[in-house]
């Protein structure tokens, strides 16, 4: 994998995970305003973004499993951190909105 391909994969993860996190936070804001329908729509949209981030991340995992060296650089650490925080916010958002 070229350095450019590696960076592209990392930026895809960052983009999808960032979009997901934004959707989840916005869903909470709509839930706070008692707009449960919009909140649920945003949860679903965010979930789709998170799935896309995980698919891209899986490419790196599969490459490493196939014996290819996947470098651990700050950009990947950032991408994975963003993906995990989006996942955490997703779980918490689902739980909080279900209380409405």
Per residue of the chain (100 residues), give pLDDT as tens.
Answer: 888 999 999 999 999 999 999 999 999 999 999 999 999 999 999 999 999 999 999 999 999 999 998 888 999 999 999 999 999 999 999 999 998 8
CB distance 83 to 56 below 8 Å: no
DSSP state of 74: H
Kindly report the number of other CB atoms within 10 A of residue 49's CB atom.
21
Longest dimension (CA), the chain: 50
Q: What residue spans define the domains of the chain?
A: 3-98
CATH code of the domain made up of 3-98: 1.20.58.80
Catalytic residues: 78
Q: How far is CA 46 from CA 7, 25, 28, 57, in A?
A: 23, 9, 12, 16
């Amino acid at each position: 994998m070229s350095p450019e391909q590696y960076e592209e994969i990392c930026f895809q993860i960052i983009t999808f995970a960032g979009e997901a996190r934004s959707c989840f936070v916005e869903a909470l804001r709509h839930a706070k305003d008692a707009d449960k329908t919009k909140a649920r729509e945003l949860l679903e949209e965010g979930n789709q973004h998170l799935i896309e981030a995980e698919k891209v991340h899986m490419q790196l995992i599969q490459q490493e499993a196939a014996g290819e060296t996947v470098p651990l650089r700050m950009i990947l650490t950032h991408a994975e951190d963003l993906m995990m925080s989006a996942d955490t916010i997703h779980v918490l958002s689902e739980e909080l909105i279900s209380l409405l």
